[in-house]
Amino acid sequence: FHKNSQGPSSGPNCPSCSYAGNSQTRFFRTPSKKRRENEAPSEDENIHQLLTKANSSMTDFSILHQNVRGLANKIDRVNHLIQTAKPDIIILTEHGLNRDELSMTNLIHYTLLTHYSRV
């Protein structure tokens, strides 16, 4: 999950919970710059900004992918996992949520950038 100098890691195993690390959702870390209220970037702008930042200034970029098999009853466990791993990008598959539920989902310090739902 997280790139380090010793090669790829299998990801964090949380000792305090049993959570071990098709529809698709991507959450991205919220940028430190604040946007004006009511000013939302488009999905393409967000992706472009993220990729530009990654190409120009990041030497270490981490992505966490997790097949959650139903996110509704696991949101606290997922928040715990991402606070431990601190990935730059989170991809959650098999979340089982519809568009409205996805828009209401809150992952701490991350913003929903794009989603896909079969529900």
pLDDT digits (tens, 9 = 90+) for 48-71: 676 666 666 656 778 889 999 899
Q: Is the dihedral of CA 75, 79, 54, 38 positive or negative?
A: positive
Domain contains 82? yes
Longest pairwise C-alpha distance within the chain: 44
Assess if residue 17 is contained within a domain.
no
The answer to which of 1-5, 11-15, 24-28, 102-106 has the lowest mean pLDDT is 1-5
Task: State which residues form the domain around 69.
Answer: 24-30+44-116
Is residue 112 a part of any domain in this protein? Answer: yes
Helix (H, G, I), strand (E, B) or coil at 103: helix
Give percent of the chain with pLDDT exceeding 90.
5
Residue for token pair 């989902």: 105
pTM for this structure?
0.54
